[in-house]
Amino acid sequence: MPKQGFQPFMESPLHHFKLDAEAQPRRTDGRIWCNELPHLGYAVLRGDTAEAGFAQLVEQVTGLALPLKAGAVSQGPQGVLMWTSPDEWLLVSHRQRLADWTAQLDAGFAEHKLFAQTVDSSGGLTLAWLGGTEHLTVLRHLGVYDFESIPLGHMVSTVLGKATVQVIRLDTDGVFVVFRRSFADYVWRLLRRAAQPYGFAVCQLEARSDHPLFAQLAAPRPSLILA
């Protein structure tokens, strides 16, 4: 490829906030701690649970059981698979694994003649972690949903301000908020503004191998220049 010309590169939708420069180790205080988990892989999975072999194939490829209950989330160290609609799920993992999964799933759907599909939405979504004792209060300022009522290991799709988001609650320490790239600037400023009265700090996120989402940070970041 010539040196000049079109050289696409990848940057997080929040890159202009320079969060890395601002991030500090998390301390135990009353503040809201927040940061983005950039460059993860996202895929929308569509299919019919009544079709024989669909749920089995998904579990066989991803190692995550297809959640059938509204709002349920399947989790493992390899990622999460969450229910977003009776015939739609969202898969989140690191980019390379997600690309492998979608290729295997598409091949499997074709082989077993399943009416199902995967759509890679990695370029269109991002995710932020919001933690600290008052993190649910911050969400309560912004959305109509009763965020305290989300059972652990569940997600809810609702609105924060005017943006549609998915709030994933895996433990009582914090929540993950999935939002669109096109709304990223808006959602980030909204969270930051709402958290201000409680104290807001950008925290360094550690790659924890036992955690379904933080583990994905351990994967080498996809090269910033796309081939």
Mask of contacts with other proteins, 164-203, x by CB under 8 A?
x---------------------------------------
Residue from 133, 137, 145, 198 touching other proteins (CB under 8 A): that is: 145
Give the binding range for other proteins (CB under 8 A) out of 5-13, 46-54, 73-81, 153-161: 153-161
Nearer to other proteins, 93 or 158 (CB): 158
- Does 84 bind other proteins (CB under 8 A)? Our answer is yes
Whether 205 and 22 have beta carbons less than 8 Å apart is answered as no
Cα separation values, 96 from 38, 87, 99, 189, 198, Å:
14, 25, 5, 30, 37
* Closest to other proteins by CB, 21 or 144: 144
Count of residues of this chain found to bind other proteins when the rule CB under 8 A is applied:
13
The answer to whether residue 157 forms part of the interface with other proteins (CB under 8 A) is yes
Residues 6+ apart with CB under 8 A from 173: 131
CA dihedral 139, 145, 147, 150 (to 10 degrees): -150
Nearest to 161 by CA among 142, 147, 183, 178: 142
Pick the closer one to other proteins by CB: 60 or 85: 85
Q: CA 191 → CA 60, 184, 198, distances in Å?
A: 37, 11, 12
Q: Helix or strand or coil: residue 38?
A: coil
CB of 70 to other proteins, least distance (A): 5
Shortest reach from residue 188's CB to other proteins, in Å: 19
| Out of 24, 49, 60, 85, the residue judged to bind other proteins by CB under 8 A | 85
For other proteins, the binding residues (CB under 8 A) are 70-71, 84-86, 88, 144-145, 156-159, 164
